[in-house]
Amino acid sequence: MIRRPVSDPWIWVLLLLTAGPLLGGLVFMLLYSIGLVGLLTDGFTLRYWSYVVTDGQTWRSLLYSLFIGSASMGASLALALALQAALRDQLRRGALGSLLFLPLAVPPLTAAVLSVEIIGNGGLLSRLARAAGWISAPADFPTVLFTPSGIGIVITHMTLVTPFLLLFLIRIAANERLGELARVAETLGASPWQSWRRVSLPILLRSSAPALTVYSLALAGAFEVPLLIGAQSPAMISVFIQRRFGQFDLRTRPEAYALATLYAGLAIGVLMALSAWRARRAPCERRL
Amino acid sequence: MMRRALGWVVSSVLLLPFPVLILLSLARRWPWPAVFPRDLQTQQWQVLLTDSSSLGAIILRSLGMGIGVAVTATALGFACSRSLARHRHRDRLTVFLYLPFAVSPVVLGVSLLYTFLRLHLAGHFLGVMLAQMIIAYAYAVLLLSAFWNQRIEALVELASSLGATPWQLWRRALVPMARPLLAVCLFQTFLISWFDYALALVIGSAQVSTVTTALYQYFSSGDLRLAATCSLLLILPPLLGLALNRRLLSATIATRLEDIDG
């Protein structure tokens, strides 16, 4: 295959539309946060960074986002793997195979509205629990929305992510010929559980790990679901940044930019580390 | 037997959102603990479709923005994906395509806002579209990179050696061959714009109304029935797309995430 030089104009378009705005925006936010640009700047200062870095809310929000992103991905992956192991061929055939695509048509905002209507204290499950005689008032139903535990956000993310992961795992299983490998393992004396745990599961996890890491990053930066059904405090990082940025006092804006720069730097750092790890681990596996 | 029962349970959970939204959009009164609404009405739909706040115009604007973003991102993405697939630093360049996904859309919007204000693009639908384009374009390049393989390159060389001009090559050979993948790309990039709320909020600066911003307004004002009705409008185009494109999307799921495996 022909290898084009760096001067290919389409590559410049690619850089201009991806790295350009993001890195340009990052540099701007950094300059704004150290007082070198901005409407009310007094010149170079590190006081905004100092405030953001020493503010407990910053780290609480970052750790909370990391926790919610990891918990959402972990729970969705566990559920997807369990459903794949339990349902097997049923997932690829018939109505269920088609229904798995339905959640792809549901945006996060709608998923949050549905969570209020289904798992909220006054939602459908609470009404069914009342009909079954298990509770007598909405307050008796376990509260999962608007709580600091973030369990409502995790459940809502699970409803969006699990079907997508199931489709992804089905595809990996087909590409890696897991059915044939499992049959070989069982012919050699492994039980179905052993063949799934020792053969299928390691391959599925290894093949999906990089994708799931990027997806977890995206979930940690989720905005709509925590905005609608998350607690006021702690807030997930995207909501926290948007609130800081939306304040009327323009003097707080450099702090908002410092916070956004810190988060963007961390996210880009994780992405770069993942890329470097992939490059070191299996250069021969890379595509042409 | 157990497997069949589990299949039914999973199917029911996947279908549950739709009757809930439909019932909520038609409910007149649905007090707790009633499992079903007491009375039904079409007032929510009438409000949405005939309201003076002109949701019709908002839907048309959102559709226009989505189509504009989809067509531009897919066209640019198709051209760029070929250069990327043939580039010696393909893996390194691909990392740049993940940046918009790794960084939250809110941070992307915040980082762009000042520049967009200076360019008079903030608070304008063109500014929102441009910001959405960054994500949609990156997605399109990732998706369409899967099209370029040894077989396609061999066909390109054959067509060129037979005298095809670059224009003829794209129009008569490459675009027709990539049509199924281009259709999926158009659909998915449309959804990136259609589902977007964060960029419409930050770059739109409360001056660009889209279906998602309308939905948020209904939700935050406490009117869940109108929010549910608006949600149905929001999921209608993707459902139609899924009905038309289910088989193609099946292939896309893999491409979308397997590309990360690089």
Quick one: pLDDT at residue B186?
93
Cβ-based contacts of B202 with chain A (< 8 Å): 242, 245
Contact B3 A90 (CB under 8 A): yes
ipTM: 0.88
Residue with tokens 């503010």: A55
Cβ-based contacts of A11 with chain B (< 8 Å): 80, 83-84, 87, 93
Cβ-based contacts of B197 with chain A (< 8 Å): 107-109, 223-224
Q: Which residue of B has its CA nearest to A246?
A: B202
Is the Cβ–Cβ distance between B93 and A14 less than 8 Å?
yes
From first to last of its 288 residues, chain A has per-residue pLDDT tens of: 445 555 788 999 999 998 899 889 999 999 999 999 887 778 889 999 999 999 999 999 999 999 999 999 999 999 999 998 888 778 777 788 888 888 989 999 999 999 999 999 999 999 999 999 999 999 999 999 999 999 999 999 999 999 999 988 888 888 888 888 888 888 898 888 888 888 888 998 888 887 888 899 999 999 999 999 999 989 999 999 999 988 777 778 899 999 999 999 999 999 889 888 877 776 555 443
CA–CA separation, A221 and B198 (whole Å)? 11
CA–CA separation, A230 and B222 (whole Å)? 16
Q: Which residue of B has its CA nearest to A256?
A: B110
Cβ-based contacts of A138 with chain B (< 8 Å): 32
Sequential DSSP letters for A217-236: HHHHT--HHHHHHS-SSSPP
Contact B32 A256 (CB under 8 A): no
For chain A, say whether B215 makes contact (Cβ under 8 Å): yes
For chain A, say whether B97 makes contact (Cβ under 8 Å): yes
Residue B251 has pLDDT above 70, yes or no: no
Q: A140: helix, coil or strand?
A: helix
| Best to test chain A binding among B14, B188, B246 (most A CBs inside 10 Å) | B14
The answer for B 6-45 residues in CB contact with A (under 8 A) is: 6-7, 10-11, 14-18, 20-21, 24, 32-35
Q: How far is A189 from chain B (nearest CA, A)?
A: 24
pLDDT digits (tens, 9 = 90+) for B69-124: 999 999 999 999 999 988 888 888 888 898 888 889 999 999 999 899 989 999 99
Q: Give me the half-sphere count of Cα atoms (radius 13 Å) on the Cβ side of residue B142.
A: 29
- Burial (CB count within 10 angstroms: exposed 0-12, middle 13-18, buried 19+), residue B159: middle
Among the partner-chain residues B11, B24, B97, the one whose CB lies closest to the CB of A95 is B11
Nearest alpha-carbon partner for B187 in B103, B73, B18, B62: B73
Residue with tokens 């409000």: B47
Percent of chain B whose predicted confidence (pLDDT) is above 90: 51
Quick one: pLDDT at residue A171?
83
Q: A88: helix, coil or strand?
A: helix
Q: How far is B122 from chain A (nearest CA, A)?
A: 14
Q: Report residue A187: phi and psi, to 5°.
A: -65, -35
Residue A264: beta bridge partners? none
Q: How far is A268 from chain B (nearest CA, A)?
A: 7
Within chain B, residue ranges assigned H as helices are: 2-15, 17-26, 43-50, 55-85, 90-102, 105-118, 125-145, 150-161, 166-168, 175-195, 198-202, 211-220, 224-261
Quick count: other Cβ atoms within 10 Å of Cβ B32? 14
- Tell me the average pLDDT across B148-162: 89
- Tell me the average pLDDT across B244-251: 64
For chain A, say whether B63 makes contact (Cβ under 8 Å): no
Cβ-based contacts of B150 with chain A (< 8 Å): 1, 288
Contact B224 A264 (CB under 8 A): no
CA–CA separation, B105 and B91 (whole Å)? 24
- Burial (CB count within 10 angstroms: exposed 0-12, middle 13-18, buried 19+), residue A269: exposed
Q: Say what the alpha-carbon torsion angle A86, A89, A90, A93 is, to the nearest 10 degrees.
A: 160
DSSP H/E element including B28: strand B27-29
For chain A, say whether B46 makes contact (Cβ under 8 Å): no
Handedness of CA A150, B131, A17, B144 (dihedral sign): positive
Contact A241 B106 (CB under 8 A): yes
Q: How far is CA B106 from CA A119, A151, B198, B242, in A?
A: 27, 22, 6, 28
Q: Report residue A146: phi and psi, to 5°.
A: 60, 25
Q: Which residue of B has its CA nearest to A129?
A: B33
For chain A, say whether B151 makes contact (Cβ under 8 Å): no
CB proximity list for B209: less than 8 A, separation 6 or greater? B58, B61
Cβ-based contacts of A284 with chain B (< 8 Å): none
The answer for B 158-187 residues in CB contact with A (under 8 A) is: none
Residue with tokens 């604007």: B61
